[in-house]
Structure formats: structure tokens, C-alpha cells
Homo-oligomer: A and B are copies of this chain.
Amino acid sequence: MDFLKSYAVLFEEELQNINFPQKPETLYQPQRYILRNGGKRIRPVLALISCGLCGSGPKEAIPVALAVELLHNFTLMHDDIMDQADSRRGELAVHKKWDEPTAILAGDSMFVYSLLQLQNLPAQVDHKKVSKIFLNSINTVCEGQAMDMEFENRTDVTLDEYHRMIEGKTGALISSAMQMGGMCGNADQEQLGQLSLIGHSLGLAFQIQDDWLDVVADPDKFGKRKAGDIYEGKKTFLLLSALERCSEPEQKKILGLMADTPLSDSEVEEVIDILEMYNVIADTKEHYLEYYSRAEKALQQFGDSNYKQDLQHLIKYLKNRES
């Protein structure tokens, strides 16, 4: 994503300037560690671009960019405990490199550091209003994670609930990053609405595409085992679509297989046969492309600029990604 390099460079420079204290070590080392481990920085870059889209220099949105990236990393720290994930971006997860109490507490402190970034908003930006948008989106992220955990013990999850779950886990923070970025660029109410729509759409598109790639992508490029989600019995968009479409005996078959994970190779084959029989794989692609289209259409409402081109470029890149 070379076309995003200027944003990424700007952001990394500012991230380096966050001076976590040296002590207590167990509070701040984990925060430095997870930030050093990188990630795609997609949320801060979207905040910076959104500010540019509304007519200001992206630098105005640096406090927002820092806030959303810190917040995102705080959620990763806590999610990895909840999901018992041992590694993150090829390195040990914080709760494994240290321990769970340390990861809980370092996450809490990172949450505070995230919110403190908003103290540096440009003077003309309404701190209270930005805080409200940010906090509401964070709570929506919590709701998404709660739904996701509840789904594990349920066999009657609907596609509608699935949409709400990923709206929370992925859409809400991308959407608030873009809205808050826009506010730093003095966006008007209509622009904020468009930015919110773009963020939500991109979040949903990305997440459903992820489910799709699990079954379709070349595992060497995707970096995960082919159909790994199906082996693990995850309730992905594809699986829930199949459950809504197939016959009762097929439903029972699928739910039975998912109750005893991991699935065997032949069991995974069976599930994929059902996905294909009901055209789920092709329809899923159409579904996430529809969300990308919504984002593209909303973007059309903004005047031409380099920022608009960069975001168009990014959407195209995401749409065609194979990993």
C-alpha cells in the first residue's frame, strides 16, 4: 500500500513521540511492545484521510489517529485474553509474554492514554462532541465482542445478528475514526454522515470478505490454513448463510459437525459441498462487494482531491486483496 506511505510515515513519527513513562515497568512495557509490533494502521490512516477529504491538512487529525490506534491496540490486548489467543502479528500476545493480570491492567492504561490524546485536538474542535462519538463507538465495540462470545454457545445465530456483531467489532471504530478525523477538518453534518457510512461499509465489507477468503483464498497468500474457520466450527457469514438456506436435515448435519471441533478433512468437504450447493460462496462475494460499492458511492459526495484519490485507491486495493 505504497500510496498510503505518506500518511503512515506521518503517523509513525507522532506515535514515537508518545512518551510512556519508564515505571511501573509492567504497566508501560506491554504498551510499547504491542505498538512496536505494528499492524496495518488502517484506522489512523483513515482518520487522516478523512480530515483531508473535508478540506484540512491531515496533520490536524493526528490526535484522533493516535487515539484510535491506541484504542484498537487496547482492544487487541484484552481480546487476546478473552479469546485465549497466544500470538498476535507473529509475536507472543501480551498475556502470554507477561501474564493475564499484566495484560488486563496495561490494556486499561492504554485505554486511558487513548482518550488523553483528545486533549490535543485542534482548538476549534468540540472536545465534548468528539469524545461522545468516540466513547459510543468503543461501547459498540464491547457489544460486538460480547455478541461474538455469546454466539459461541448458541446454535440459532441469525445473519442479522451476525451483521450487528461485526458492525460492532469492526465497523464502529472505523466509522468513528473517520467521523472524528472529519471533525478535525471542520466537516459539516452531511459530510459526517457520509464518513460514518463509508466507515461502516468498509468495516462490514472487510469482515465478510475475510470470511470469504477463508474458503477461497490461496492459503500461501492468505497466511492461514484453507477453510480454517470451518475446521474450527466458527460461525462465519458463509456458514450462517448456509444454515438459513439449507434443509432441516442439512442444518442438523452442520450443527452436529460444529459441536465437535476441529472437523476432519472429509467433514469440512461436506460443509463446503453444502455452501456450494446453495451458492453461498458466490453470493457472499456479491454481498461484500455491495458494501464496498456503498463506500465508493458515499465517497463520490466529496469534492475531488488527492485524499479522495487515495481513499478510492485504498478501497480498490481492499476489494481486490487476496490476503
Q: Which residues of B contact A119 (CB under 8 A)?
A: 128, 131-132
Query: A81 and B108: CB pair below 8 A?
Result: no
Q: Chain A: interface secondary structure?
A: helix
How many copies of the chain does the oligomer comprise? 2
In the complex, whether A78 has a CB less than 8 A from a CB of chain B is yes
Contacting pair B78 A143 (CB below 8 A): no
- Cross-chain contact B111 with A26 (CB below 8 angstroms): no
Residues of B within 8 A of A149 (CB): 26, 101-102, 105
Q: Does A264 contact B (CB under 8 A)?
A: no
Instruction: Tell me if A215 counts as interface (CB < 8 A to partner B).
Output: no
Q: Is A135 an interface residue (CB 8 A)?
A: yes
**Is B128's CB under 8 angstroms from A24's CB?**
no
Which residue in B101, B118, B132, B142 is a CB contact (below 8 Å) of A81? B101
Residue A188 CB within 8 A of the other chain: no
Residues of B near A301 (CB, < 8 A) are none
With A and B bound together, what is the CA distance between A26 and B128 in angstroms? Answer: 29
Say which residue of B24, B118, B139 sits within 8 Å of A146 (CB atoms).
Answer: B24
Bound-complex Cα distance A143 to B112 (A): 12
Q: Taking the nearest CB of chain B, how far is it from the CB of A174, in angstroms? A: 18
Cβ–Cβ < 8 Å partners of A189 in chain B: none
Q: How far is the CA of A25 from the CA of B154 in the complex (A)?
A: 13
Q: Which residues of B contact A136 (CB under 8 A)?
A: 116
Least CB separation from A148: chain B residue: B24
Shortest distance between the CB of A27 and any CB in chain B (Å): 4
List which A91-139 residues lie within 8 A (CB) of chain B: 100-102, 104-105, 108-109, 111-113, 115-116, 118-119, 127-128, 131-132, 135-136, 138-139
A26 close to B146 (CB less than 8 A): yes
Residues of B within 8 Å of A128, CB to CB, are: 119, 127-128
Bound complex: CA of A150 vs CA of B26, how far in Å?
A: 8
Q: How far is the CA of A25 from the CA of B27 in the complex (A)?
A: 31
Contact at A105–B146, with CB atoms within 8 Å? yes
A116: which B residues are within 8 A, CB to CB? Answer: 132, 135-136, 139
Q: Which of A104, A145, A147 has the most CB of B within 10 A?
A: A104
Find out whether the CB atom of B108 lies under 8 angstroms from the CB atom of A142.
yes
At the interface, yes or no: A259 with Cβ under 8 Å from chain B? no
Residue from A24, A25, A26 with most neighbouring chain B CB atoms (10 Å): A24
The reply to whether B150 and A108 contact each other, CB–CB distance below 8 Å, is no
**A82 interfacial by beta-carbon distance below 8 Å:** yes
Residue among B104, B139, B147 making CB contact with A104, cutoff 8 Å = B104
Q: What is the distance, in angstroms, from A102's C-beta to the closest C-beta of chain B?
A: 8
Which residues of B sit under 8 angstroms from A146, Cβ to Cβ?
A: 24, 26-27, 105, 109
- Enumerate chain B residues within 8 angstroms of A24, measured Cβ to Cβ: 143, 146-147, 150
Give the docked Cα–Cα distance between A24 and B141 (Å): 12
Q: A105–B82 contact, CB under 8 A?
A: yes
A82 vs B116: C-alpha distance in the bound complex, in angstroms? 25
Among residues of B, the one whose C-beta sits closest to the C-beta of A114 is B135
Residues of B close to A142: CB separation below 8 A: 27, 105, 108-109, 112
